[in-house]
Amino acid sequence: MSEAGLAGPYRALVVGARGAIGGAFIEALAADPDCADVIGWSRGPTPAANAAKVTMRDGVELTNEASVAAAAAELPTELDLVLVASGALHGAGIQPEKSYRALEAANMAAIFAANAIGPALVAKHSLGRLPRGRRSVWAALSARVGSIGDNRLGGWHSYRASKAALNMMLRCWAIELARTAPQAVLVGLHPGTVASALSAPFQGNVAAEKLFTPAQSARFLLDALAARAPADSGGVFDWAGTPIAP
């Protein structure tokens, strides 16, 4: 069995191909002899494909449904693996809130758009391409801080809430998908702390052994997916395959 527990030849879509983890996913899948095709979506320009089986598609704005639909129209009829590795924690003028006093509507909307609406539009235009008669995997990067039951510190309001919203949608999609593709696995993934632009301002207190390279993170997450069964669908799992509380 190959990456994510899929039998070859399989076809994969990686959303957020320009990001650290998305790029590492593409490299891992391109190196898998059982993977027939890898398609990478990105908003900005992407590096040239480093393998004949890799096709990069830039200009995909995940919060614009027309953009997502146009890119989806170019996809193969069937996809065996979809990995949504996009998301946002901070940006121009946006930082995780330390208090409710820091909440701003525009910043909240931007974080929700990146972390919840974008994956939702990808789901709308890709879930129907998962095969009905064999194993397939659809996964999106979530975060442990999106767990309501695990929240002991507060803060990071918009990011936490947007990931909690994503987790709820993952559960909804899993219930619906099970009716048409009973062998599909649909889950959220917590990658841990990865050396990337997203986590760069917050790495100071992370122990060296808990700060993963993008390649390590991709490897851990693909292994965690390989261990998942359809009964796990709708859940969120960390990089080691441990379930995260809703």
Q: What are the CA-CA distances from residue 46 to residues 21, 103, 209 (Å)?
A: 14, 33, 30
- 234 CB-contact burial (10 Å; exposed 0-12 / middle 13-18 / buried 19+): buried
Please give the distance of CA 75 from its chain centroid, rounded to a whole number.
18
| 170-201 tens-digit pLDDT | 999 999 999 999 999 999 999 998 886 655 56
Residue 39 pLDDT > 90, yes or no? yes
| CA torsion, ordered 40, 48, 26, 113, to nearest 10 deg | -40
**pLDDT of 96 above 70:** yes
The predicted-structure confidence for 128-160, as pLDDT tens digits, reads as follows 999 999 999 999 999 999 999 999 999 999 999
> Of 3.90.850.10, 3.40.50.300, 3.30.420.10, 3.40.50.720, which CATH number belongs to 3-238?
3.40.50.720
Residue-range domain boundaries for the chain: 3-238
Q: What is the mean pLDDT of residues 106-117?
A: 96
Contact 21, 218 (CB under 8 A): yes
Q: Is the pLDDT of residue 52 over 90?
A: no
pLDDT at residue 95, as a whole number: 93
Contact 211, 193 (CB under 8 A): yes
Strand, helix or coil at 28? helix
